[in-house]
Each structure stands twice: as C-alpha cells, then as structure tokens.
Amino acid sequence: MLRAYARIVGIVLLLSALVGGANVINTAWPVDFFHATVGAIFAYIGFLQRDTEVVRQAVGGMGLLLLLVKGATIVAPLLWGETLLRGPIEITCLVVGALSVLAARYLRDGPPRARP
C-alpha cells in the first residue's frame, strides 16, 4: 500500500512539473525543477525500491521535506510585508507532505505477517 502511495505521488508531482514547464499553469522554473526532482524520487521509491523499511523512511523523509519547503514558500512573503502565497500547487504539495508523513507512519506495505 505504501509503494502504491509513493507511485501515485511520484506520478502526480512529475505531471505537475510537466504542466508547469509547459506553461499551462503559471509557475517558475525552480518550482518545476523541485517538483520534478521530488516526483522522480517518489517514483523511484514506489517502482524500484524493494526494501519496505527504506520505502517507509524515504516516504516520511520526503513528506517532511515537502512540509518544510512548501511551508517556507507559503510563509516567506510575510517577511517582505506581502500576503501569504496560497497558490494551488503550494497548497497541494503541503497536503501531500502531510499525507506522506501520515502514510509512512500508518500504511502497511507487503503481505501481513502470519501469526505463529
């Protein structure tokens, strides 16, 4: 289940980077690069990584990274006296970061353990 979550998040982030890079939505190239990089890492975790503990730690770590970076991106304009940045991409990544931390904590991956 955790690998499926990582696959979905990887694909969604890669698609958002592609859409932003094609100027369908208004984003800057560093944002697109960040989404492409994080999406590629999630896709690698979901499709190619086999060790369940590595998957769990990586999903949780990437979730924390998304929370920190997007939280700072949303709040940073306050330092210059502007309003909060509440774009749909930032809010979506903030939610994905929170969900990734929760998924790493609570989702199981692999077959359930047999009781002896």
Asked whether the beta carbons of 53 and 108 are under 8 A apart, the reply is no
Model pTM?
0.86
pLDDT at 116: 59
pLDDT tens, position by position, 13-26: 999 999 988 988 88
Number of H helices, E strands in the chain: 4, 0
Q: Which amino acid is at 45?
A: I
pLDDT tens, position by position, 83-95: 877 778 888 889 9
Q: Give the length of the chain.
A: 116
Long-range contacts of the stretch 18-22 (C-beta < 8 A, 24+) = 20/89
